[in-house]
């Protein structure tokens, strides 16, 4: 899938926002991608899932694991395109964990799927969840890489598009210094 087509899709459905945002990572930014606005349309979710699945197929995953909430839909679509099962981790007492009867075994090859990666924190937490369950993490993927390739995941990482907008620590944020109100649209509380 073409990088410009991915970003155009976000623009078309109004999922690329400008303003002053507190990202799930805690960083502040002038740009925010609301993947849920894209993924609410099954044809778009399916197209993005197929594209990401093709980018990851060579890793031969046997299961897709996504963090709730942002990775759920795209993780399911990637798993469907790969013909493997899709499971998700969710926060319990602040830690991502497998619940709802989900489990992993040592023979499983896990690929972690996210909607957007900025620092890679949620992806690394999801990878740790898989490793704690005994599985092998063979790679990670996201629709959008906001890190510009700088997220250190220690496994092969593939994305459909890169969207780099400067991020700021809250104490160094020029928008905060200018008194602009901040919006927190992300999923991590």
pLDDT for the residue 103: 92
The domain spans of the chain are: 3-177
Strand partners, 16: 33
pLDDT for the residue 129: 94
pLDDT for the residue 189: 45
Predicted structure pTM score: 0.86
Which tokens in the block code for residue 90? Answer: 């969710």
Q: Is 42 exposed, middle or buried (0-12, 13-18, 19+ CB in 10 A)?
A: exposed
Q: With the CA atoms of 167, 139, 85 and 35 taken in that order, what torsion angle do they form, in degrees rounded to the nearest 10?
A: 20
pLDDT for the residue 186: 62
Strand partners, 168: 28
Q: How far apart are CA 180 and CA 141, in angstroms?
A: 33
Would you write out the chain's pLDDT as a tens digit for each of its 189 residues?
Answer: 788 899 899 999 999 888 899 987 788 999 888 899 999 999 999 999 999 999 999 999 999 999 988 899 999 999 999 999 999 999 988 888 899 989 999 999 999 999 999 888 899 999 999 999 999 999 999 999 988 888 889 999 999 999 888 889 999 999 999 999 998 876 544
Residue whose tokens read 């007492």: 93
The CATH fold assigned to 3-177 is Rossmann fold (3.40.50)
Q: What is the CA radius of gyration of the chain?
A: 16
């Amino acid at each position: 899938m073409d990088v410009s087509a991915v970003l155009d899709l976000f623009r078309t459905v109004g999922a690329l926002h400008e303003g002053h945002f507190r990202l799930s990572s805690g960083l502040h930014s002038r740009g925010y991608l609301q993947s849920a606005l894209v993924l609410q349309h099954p044809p778009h979710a399916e197209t993005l899932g197929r594209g990401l699945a093709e980018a990851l197929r060579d890793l031969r995953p046997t299961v897709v694991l996504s963090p709730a909430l942002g990775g759920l839909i795209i993780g399911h679509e990637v798993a469907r395109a790969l013909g493997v099962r899709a499971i998700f981790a969710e926060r319990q007492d602040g830690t991502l964990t497998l619940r709802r009867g989900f489990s992993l075994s040592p023979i499983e090859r896990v690929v972690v799927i996210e909607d957007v990666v900025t620092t890679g924190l949620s992806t690394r937490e999801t990878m740790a969840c898989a490793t704690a369950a005994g599985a092998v993490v063979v790679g990670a993927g996201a629709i959008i890489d906001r890190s510009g390739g700088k997220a250190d995941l220690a496994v092969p990482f593939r994305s459909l598009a890169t969207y780099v907008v400067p991020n700021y620590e809250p104490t160094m944020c020029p928008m905060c210094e200018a008194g602009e109100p901040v919006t927190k649209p992300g999923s991590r509380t």
